[in-house]
Amino acid sequence: MARGKFITLEGIDGAGKTTHLGWLRERLEQKVGPTGHAVVMTREPGGTPLGEALRHILLHEAMDLETEALLMFAARREHLAQVIEPALVRGDWVLSDRFTDATFAYQGGGRGLPRDKLEALERWVQGGFQPDLTVLFDVPPETASARRGAAREPDRFESESDAFFTRTRAEYLRRAEEAPYRFAIVDSTQSIEEIRRQLDGIVAAL
């Protein structure tokens, strides 16, 4: 049985990825469904009962930076073991709202946790496992800030400054430059229609 594909969506808060998540799932189902396999949509932190409990803590409780990173990777290990890896073995495709790139961007770039600590956790939790495709929705921090301001009550990360998101965005772009074979960068200042045309091409290539 052919192994499924793992696709992740990334971007700073307010980049617009959530706007396209459900639409992208439908497009993937149109392509994967005829093969007899499913599209599993999930998120990080979260994706499992334990992960969702950790998500609530991470988004709303103050904590030490290293505790924050460790909890992110703890939730990820459970996510991989319980959801992602079994789905891929079944031949299903997995679409996740965030994965490890977010930890490097937020805890590393945004908060300043040394990269070597994150890399050690990444090796321990994932080995060499990485997404088949990461779609990075890229947007200037000031644009993202305006979008967040029109949304719901902000969580602990959404409440951060533009300077924080400037650092976070820079780390996302560094990760993309480091692994161009799996990243597709989408200019999220475009119209929804333009972005979806681009996503169609990206999915077709995969």
Question: Binding site for ATP: which residues?
Answer: 11-18
Amino acid at 21: L
Backbone conformation region of residue 11, classed left if phi is above 0, alpha if psi is from -120 to 50, else beta: left
The structure tokens listed for 94 are 């997995």
Cα gap 153→169, rounded to integer Å: 22
Residue 30 exposed, middle or buried by CB count within 10 Å (0-12, 13-18, 19+): exposed
Is residue 200 within 8 A of residue 24, CB to CB? The reply is no
Strand intervals (E) in 60-153: 93-97, 133-138
Binding site residues, as ranges?
Answer: 11-18
Cα gap 21→40, rounded to integer Å: 12
The structure tokens listed for 10 are 């990334």
Q: Count CA within 13 A, CB hemisphere, residue 7.
A: 25
Phi, psi of 4 (to 5 degrees): -75, 180
